[in-house]
């Protein structure tokens, strides 16, 4: 089944960048080989996953159009980042999580909304881009992101 990438601002958009344009953003990067070996369908799946991550960010307001926007490159970079560094599956982010605390067990929906950017999940170039669109980034000390996870 082919995955249809619909680029923003088209109605029904599911990405800020096409697979072809993502290839051009990623090709000059040192770790582009990880992206190059993916099938077109896997690339599209990663782009859609990255776009979904953007839409879950609290305070994220995309522009009316993408002229002079950093979002297409950020979408491509986050897709690559998720391929290289993520252990998450590409399932929808509202999946049910189950955790055990001693004799107790709880189930909840994972990542209903994201309040702040986790530098482990969002590379610097993406964090910097999203700051232009109202997203709060973690404190950066000497170029290293300081972030605490809270539940």
- Please report whether residue 50 resides in a domain: yes
- The mean pLDDT of 7-17, rounded to a whole number, is 94
Q: Looking at residue 82, what is its pLDDT?
A: 83
What is d(CA 40, CA 49) in angstroms, rounded to the nearest whole number?
Answer: 14
- Tell the burial category of 81 from Cβ atoms under 10 Å away from its Cβ (0-12, 13-18, 19+): buried
More confident residue, 145 or 128: 128
- Please report whether residue 62 resides in a domain: yes
- Please report whether residue 6 resides in a domain: no
Tokens for 16, please give them: 């800020």
Looking at the DSSP bridge assignments, the partners of residue 15 are 7
At residue 101, φ and ψ (nearest 5 deg) are: -125, 90
- Please report whether residue 132 resides in a domain: yes
Confidence of residue 137 (pLDDT cuts 50, 70, 90): low
Prior bond of 9 cis (ω within 30°) = yes
Q: Looking at residue 118, what is its pLDDT?
A: 53
Confidence of residue 89 (pLDDT cuts 50, 70, 90): low
Please state the domain count of the chain.
1
- Please report whether residue 12 resides in a domain: no
pTM to 2 decimals?
0.71
Q: What angle do CA 17, 4, 68 make, to 5 degrees?
A: 15
Q: Looking at residue 135, what is its pLDDT?
A: 84
What pLDDT digit, counting tens, does each position of 113-129 carry? Answer: 444 455 567 888 888 89
- Please report whether residue 7 resides in a domain: no
Q: What is the mean pLDDT of the chain?
A: 77
User: For residue 58, what are the domain limits?
Assistant: 19-146
């Amino acid at each position: 089944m082919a995955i249809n990438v619909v680029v923003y601002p088209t109605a029904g958009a599911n990405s800020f960048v096409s697979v072809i344009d993502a290839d051009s953003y990623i090709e000059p990067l040192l770790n582009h080989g990880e992206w190059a070996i993916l099938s077109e369908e896997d690339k599209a799946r990663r782009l859609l996953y990255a776009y979904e991550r953007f839409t879950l960010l609290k305070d994220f307001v995309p522009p009316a159009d993408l002229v002079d926007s950093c979002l297409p490159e950020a979408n491509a970079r986050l897709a690559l980042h998720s391929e290289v560094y993520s252990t998450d599956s590409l399932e929808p982010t509202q999946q049910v999580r189950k955790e055990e605390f001693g004799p107790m067990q709880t189930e909840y929906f994972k990542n209903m909304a994201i309040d702040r950017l986790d530098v482990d999940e969002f590379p610097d170039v993406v964090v910097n881009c999203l700051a232009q669109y109202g997203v709060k980034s973690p404190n950066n000390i000497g170029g290293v992101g300081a972030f605490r996870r809270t539940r």
